[in-house]
């Protein structure tokens, strides 16, 4: 099966470099974007403890990976989000509304999973998507 890989110039990396790529396009149609976070190319958390700002960074990262693979946010069919919950509905709603602003109706299927913490201190959200293109 033919595959294309994506790692946009200047994109974030974990503090320990691993052999993964940010995105994979398989068979020319299916695109899988690994969990995107608010980190820089040196593995530093951006906007520590700021969920809305981190959602925006992660979504912009997703857009960059999709673009490198010839897709847009409108090609996304599934989105999964893991976020640090503050125990209120407002925390979930804020992140969900920011994410939703990147899509037009009807949008993709979506799942949001609250957690007590993510891998690094101050990291509040990780978002992955699956997209499908007809090109």
Q: Confirm if 82 and 35 have CB atoms less than 8 A apart.
A: yes
Distance CA 93, CA 22 (A): 26
Question: How confident is the prediction along the chain (135 residues), in pLDDT tens digits per residue?
Answer: 788 888 888 888 777 777 778 898 998 899 999 999 999 988 899 999 999 999 999 999 999 999 999 999 999 999 999 999 765 667 778 888 999 999 999 999 999 888 899 999 999 999 999 999 986
H or E element at residue 36: strand 30-36
Q: What's the confidence (pLDDT) of residue 114?
A: 86
For domain 3-132, give the fold: 60s Ribosomal Protein L30; Chain: A; (3.30.1330)
Q: Provide the residue ranges of all domains of the chain, joining segments of one domain with +.
A: 3-132
């Amino acid at each position: 099966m033919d595959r294309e890989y994506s790692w946009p110039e200047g994109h974030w990396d974990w503090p320990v470099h691993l052999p993964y790529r940010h995105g994979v396009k398989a068979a020319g149609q299916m695109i899988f974007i690994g969990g995107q976070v608010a980190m820089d190319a040196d593995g530093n958390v951006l906007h520590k403890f700021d969920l809305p700002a981190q959602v925006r960074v992660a979504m912009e990262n997703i857009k960059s990976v999709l673009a490198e693979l010839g897709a847009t946010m409108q090609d996304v069919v599934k989105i999964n989000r893991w976020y640090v919950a503050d125990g209120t509905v407002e925390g979930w709603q804020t992140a969900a509304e920011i994410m939703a602003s990147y899509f037009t109706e009807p949008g993709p299927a979506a799942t949001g999973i609250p957690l007590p913490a993510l891998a690094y201190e101050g990291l509040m959200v990780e978002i992955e998507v699956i997209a499908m293109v007809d090109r």
